[in-house]
Amino acid sequence: SQQGEEDPQALSIQEGENATMNCSYKTSINNLQWYRQNSGRGLVHLILIRSNEREKHSGRLRVTLDTSKKSSSLLITASRAADTASYFCATDAMYSGGGADGLTFGKGTHLIIQP
């Protein structure tokens, strides 16, 4: 079963607005990562937040993590047309045998920024 589930599945907003995507997961984690995927390309790592962190910033990105609710959110401020992409959360489960089974990805949120 999916470890991470993003919500919403799709989001369409106007350029300049803020975009918020959520991710819920099931098991205890070491860290949670967000990735972006442009159509036809590989995933690009955006930000990693560890289980003992609550918030992290990187440029126009803000990620929060609530381990009690097993959820995370990704906020993109002042969105641009170039932010149009799919966004995935990925979890590094705590009891995964040293990370040997890799990150577990959700199905993603497809974000469309209307110019």
Buried b (16+ CB within 10 A) or exposed e, 74-98: bebeebeeebbbbbbbbbbbeebee
Nearest distance in Å: CB 114, another protein: 21
Nearest distance in Å: CB 91, another protein: 10
Pattern 10-39, another protein, x by CB under 8 A: --------------------xx-x-x----
- Please identify, using beta-carbon distances, which residue of 17 and 101 lies nearer to another protein: 101
CA separation, residue 30 to residues 18, 69, 95 (Å):
28, 15, 9
Residues that bind another protein (CB under 8 A): 2, 4, 30-31, 33, 35, 40-45, 48, 88, 92, 96-108
